[in-house]
């Protein structure tokens, strides 16, 4: 089995605006092999490599038509901040789990999530058989793996076809697992396409399950919108447009698409005009913000959290008249996020040095106490 490290930045997205080192990334106790892995699996030509290129390398969907079929495991290191840290391993479709050279323990042992891609426009009987074999093998090695099924290439088909395909695949896959004695294994299904925002939304849900501090982030967002009169808020990774956390209100796909488009506008304009005098200054920095007023009495408001994270809010115009309160609450929110960053780094550092359960529990208590103290500073 061969491996290939994939680091090239492709596509029309600004090439100098990609993943890079965060403040603590050069610490000797941090090694990339310790990061959780997301495995991309599926049959040949199902769209695995296209998903990886579009989401994490900003390749245009039309450019993916010229991608060659993957014939080796391609490793991609996603390393931008203390929350979004993982590896993506793109597997060739012809991989054989019963090959004696296939090291299941090494492949699945450090896996956080397994994404199985099914081409919805093709006959998926063989894909379902492969899915069952993959889940059975992976679950035996690592029962903690999160299993995600992307019902892919649903662009250009009717909504009835999408729903029927999802229902049929869900039913067959679940029945196959029950027959294999794996009733306790849960599969999550997503309808995806690289030609719209559905693939970003699906990957957002995958990545969120790998973030131990997700509950703390969601609580901070809930407090922030409640005390600021905000309708909806997303915490975005600006490079991939994955949202790593949102508040408790339901996610509306149209609102998510608007927020993604706003990030594109801000980054594009910042790269064109923001660093003209000094090219060494990052285009997206702590002064980055944007206000877009819609024609439906809604305001989109973006603020930079750190060089790879942005908070994008949807606010009614009458609530935005209290912008001073919103800005103050945002500063409290950003300070609390910074504390979570620092505390997670301490947690990881301590975990790498020693596996003493008492010390780890003390640090978790400290983390909860510090974040709660920051939460109390929000103003109504």
Residue 138 belongs to a domain with what CATH number? 3.40.50.300
CATH number of the domain where residue 294 is located: 3.30.450.190
Q: Indicate if 44 and 185 belong to the same structural domain.
A: yes
Look at residue 55 and give its three-state secondary structure: helix
At 306 the pLDDT is: 83
Question: Over 70: is that where the pLDDT of 66 sits?
Answer: yes
Q: Indicate if 195 and 130 belong to the same structural domain.
A: yes
pLDDT digits (tens, 9 = 90+) for 18-56: 444 444 444 434 444 567 889 999 998 899 999 999 998
At 25 the pLDDT is: 42
At 283 the pLDDT is: 65
Among 80-84, 97-101, 111-115, 290-294, which stretch is predicted with the lowest mean pLDDT?
A: 80-84
Q: What is the mean pLDDT of residues 120-136?
A: 93
Q: What is the mean pLDDT of residues 336-346?
A: 80
For the chain, what percent of residues have pLDDT higher than 70?
77
Question: Over 70: is that where the pLDDT of 332 sits?
Answer: yes
Neighbouring residues of 356: CB distance < 8 A, sequence distance ≥ 6: none
pLDDT averaged over every residue in the chain? 82
DSSP class of residue 62 equals: G
At 1 the pLDDT is: 43
To the nearest 10°, report the CA torsion of 375, 377, 379, 380.
40
At 13 the pLDDT is: 42
What token pair was written down for 189?
């299904």
Comparison of pLDDT for 353 and 111, the residue scoring more: 111
At 183 the pLDDT is: 87
Query: Is the Cβ–Cβ distance between 262 and 312 less than 8 Å?
Result: yes
Neighbouring residues of 109: CB distance < 8 A, sequence distance ≥ 6: 141, 142
Domain final position from 195, 210, 225: 210
Q: Indicate if 43 and 185 belong to the same structural domain.
A: yes
Q: Indicate if 90 and 237 belong to the same structural domain.
A: no
At 7 the pLDDT is: 41
Question: Over 60: is that where the pLDDT of 10 sits?
Answer: no
Please count the structural domains in the chain.
2
pLDDT digits (tens, 9 = 90+) for 257-310: 999 999 988 888 877 776 556 655 566 667 778 999 999 999 999 999 988 889
What token pair was written down for 211?
């973030």
Q: b vs e for 84-120, b when ≥16 Cβ sit within 10 Å of the residue's Cβ? A: bbbbbbbbbbebeeeeeeeeeeebbeebbbbbbbbbb
Q: b vs e for 160-191, b when ≥16 Cβ sit within 10 Å of the residue's Cβ? A: eebeebbeebeebbbebbeeeebeebebbbbb
Domain final position from 186, 210, 234: 210
Domain final position from 210, 244, 268: 210
pLDDT digits (tens, 9 = 90+) for 206-256: 999 988 889 999 999 999 999 999 999 999 988 888 999 999 999 999 999
Question: What CA–CA distance (Å, rounded) separates 165 from 120?
Answer: 7
Print the domain residue range for 288.
213-343
At 349 the pLDDT is: 67
User: Do the strands 73-79 and 111-119 form a parallel or antiparallel pair, or are they unpaired?
Assistant: unpaired
At 9 the pLDDT is: 36
Q: What is the mean pLDDT of residues 67-76?
A: 85
């Amino acid at each position: 089995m061969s491996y290939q490290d994939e680091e090239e930045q492709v596509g029309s997205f600004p090439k100098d605006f990609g993943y890079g080192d965060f403040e603590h990334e050069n610490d000797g106790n941090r090694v990339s092999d310790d990061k959780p892995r997301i495995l991309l699996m599926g049959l040949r030509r199902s769209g695995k490599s296209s998903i990886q290129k579009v989401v994490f390398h900003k390749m245009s969907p039309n450019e993916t038509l010229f991608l060659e079929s993957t014939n080796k495991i391609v490793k991609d290191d996603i390393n931008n901040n203390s929350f979004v840290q993982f590896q993506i391993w793109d597997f060739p479709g012809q991989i054989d789990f019963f090959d004696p050279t296939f090291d299941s323990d090494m492949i699945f042992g450090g896996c956080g999530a397994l994404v199985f891609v099914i081409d919805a426009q093709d006959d998926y009987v063989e894909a379902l058989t492969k899915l069952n074999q993959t889940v059975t093998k992976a679950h035996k090695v690592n029962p903690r793996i999160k299993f995600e099924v992307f019902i892919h290439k649903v662009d250009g088909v009717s909504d009835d076809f999408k729903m029927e395909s999802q229902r049929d695949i869900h039913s067959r896959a679940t029945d196959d697992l029950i027959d294999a004695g794996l009733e306790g294994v849960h599969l999550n299904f997503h309808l995806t396409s690289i030609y719209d925002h559905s693939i970003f939304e699906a990957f957002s849900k995958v990545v969120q399950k790998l973030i131990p501090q997700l509950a703390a982030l969601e609580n901070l967002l809930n407090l922030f919108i409640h005390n600021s009169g905000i309708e909806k808020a997303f915490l975005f990774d600006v490079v991939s447009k994955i949202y790593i956390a949102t508040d408790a209100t339901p996610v509306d796909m149209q609102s998510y698409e608007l927020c993604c488009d706003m990030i594109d506008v801000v980054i594009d304009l910042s790269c064109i005009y923001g660093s003209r005098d000094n090219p060494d200054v990052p285009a997206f920095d702590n002064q980055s913000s944007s206000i877009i007023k819609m024609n439906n009495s809604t305001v989109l408001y973006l603020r930079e959290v750190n060089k790879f994270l942005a908070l994008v809010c949807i606010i009614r115009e009458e609530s935005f008249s209290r912008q001073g309160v919103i800005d103050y609450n945002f500063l409290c929110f950003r300070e609390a996020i910074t504390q979570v960053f620092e505390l997670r780094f301490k947690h990881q550092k301590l975990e790498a040095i020693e596996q003493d359960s008492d010390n780890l529990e003390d640090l978790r208590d400290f983390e909860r106490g510090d974040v709660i103290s920051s939460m109390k500073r929000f103003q109504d």
